Amino acid sequence: MPVFSWFLPDGRLLISYRPAIHAARQGAIEDDVRALTRTCTAILEDEIRRRPEFWMWMHNRWRTRPPGTERAQPAGAGPPRRGARMSRPAIFMDRDGTICEEVGYVNHLSRCRLLPRSLEAIRGVNRLGYLAVVATNQSGVARGLFTEDLVRAVHDQLRGWVESGGGRLDALYYCPHHPREGAPPYRIECECRKPRPGMLVRAAREHDIDLSRSWMIGDSLVDLEAGAAAGARVVHVLTGYGIGLRDNQPERFHVQPAHTATDLLAAVRFIAAQEGRAAALEGA
Count of helices and strands (H, E) across the chain: 8, 8
Count of other CB atoms within 10 angstroms of residue 73: 8
Cβ neighbourhood burial of 78 (10 Å; 0-12, 13-18, 19+): exposed
| Local structure of 115: helix, strand or coil | coil
The identity of residue 33, as a single letter, is: V
Q: How far apart are CA 230 and CA 216, in angstroms?
A: 9
For residues 273 and 271, what is the distance between their CA atoms, to the nearest angstrom? 5
Task: Verify whether residue 96 is a known catalytic residue.
Answer: yes
Cis peptide before 195 (omega within 30 of 0): yes
For 91, which DSSP code? E
Which of 94, 219, 223, 263 is catalytic? The answer is: 94
Calpha distance 265→192 (Å, rounded): 26
Phi first, then psi, for residue 69 (nearest 5°) are -120, 25
Q: Which of 31, 32, 46, 96 is catalytic?
A: 96
| Spatial separation of the C-alpha atoms in residues 130 and 168, rounded to whole Å | 11
DSSP state of 176: -
CA 138 to chain CA centroid, Å, is 15
Residues 100, 118: contact at Cβ < 8 Å? yes
**Stretch (H or E) spanning 273:** helix 264-274
Phi and psi torsions of 81, nearest 5°: -65, 155
**Residues belonging to the active site:** 94, 96
